[in-house]
Amino acid sequence: MVGSVSTERTSRALEFGLYRDGDNNLDDIQAATIAQAVQTSRHDSSIEFTVEDTTARRGFEPAHVLRTESYTIAGGAISKHVAVDEPHDMSARAELTKFVDRVLDDAERSNAKATWIDLVDHGGGDGGGLQSTHSAEGIMREDDIAGAIADGVALHAKEHPEDATRKVDGVVANQCLMATVGFSSALSHAGVEYLAASPETMLAPGVPSGVAHDIAAHLGDPRAMAKAVVDTTMDETYDAGGIGSFGPAAAFDVIDLDPTKAADVAAAVRGLDSTLTAAASADPSARAAIRADGKAIDGMVRFPDGSGLPWRADRPAIALYQTFAEDARLSAGVRAAALHAANAIADTVLAHRESDDFAPFGDADYSNAYGPTVHFPVNRKQVDTWAPQISETDNAFYKSVGAADLTKVIA
């Protein structure tokens, strides 16, 4: 346990909310993000971390006692006041809403210039994330994650009208598969400006809390911030003892959630889905070509031992749409719509890196895993592999762009 001292709040560059759900098999290993936060704040006094940690590891209580610990970290130490409660349901929208409200309250008190939220848990792409073992919710839908952020912002504004313009500027998804077009759209509608996430499964502890320094050091320069966050994540290594070391991600992105760009993406994907649906419905050869192009772009969970997992239909959207755009078997109208959609999504990618030698995933090829994924099933088994436990089609973006109609024709 880290020693606790009282820390005085001063004007900060960044309030960084660390929402860690340890009510599952990741409790011990992902707890490293807390130690990283302490270390980061020790070296960068401009950052304060607001922490909500549901855990059963030894700490402020004995081991195997599931509870929720809430506190702040600044100046390399945990605050004097630590609230220890009965375990919160971290997969519940209402709980995330309360946390966002608390982070914004702390941001106001510390006069922080920016506020980010780090979601630390399991993730499931467009199916959502934040999975608790002892939860009535099971896993939080992506629309509810974004909705909780919007609710928390609204609650803070209601309680503190003098600070009503404060918002959550960015989200770090320290979770698997959360760099998706749908999640980006949902967060953009919630007023979030940036998403830092991986399109692939991640290896815990995942994104290092040191990315908070990259954010604080590059306020006002989104591209420099994004590059630094991606580099810090992709350069991180964790020691696995006798089996060597590993990095947290095979690919990682920072996505610009600017409302105009998000609206352009939605319109472009809607236009493409409509064009693909019409073409496949009218011409069996066009349907065959579209299905073949979809199959040619591997979905996520590409590592050899992941064949039994879902998300095989979560394909890199830019690579998929560029494949349609270059397919001479498809009409000029389809190709133009595909190129427009690919370009609209590419315009949202502020920074990206993929590994060309990711040993933990069997050196799988991630060279086309640039930018967010889109759920594109090519057979019925891929539509909702884990439904109803995790549904990748039960989200606002999938429904709004006509993906359901396209899936009926293609899959």
pTM of the model: 0.94
One-letter amino acid of 404: A
CATH 3.40.50 domain extents, the chain: 14-258
Query: What sign does the dihedral 187-171-339-141 (CA atoms) show?
Result: negative
pLDDT for res 136? 81
> Which parts of the chain register pLDDT below 70?
1-10, 242-243
pLDDT for res 2? 39
pLDDT for res 249? 94
pLDDT for 107-133, tens place per residue? Answer: 999 999 999 999 999 999 999 999 999
Pick the CATH number of 14-258 from 1.10.8, 3.30.460, 1.20.140, 3.40.50: 3.40.50
pLDDT for res 243? 64
Q: What is the rounded distance in angstroms from the CA atom of residue 313 to the CA atom of residue 375?
A: 6
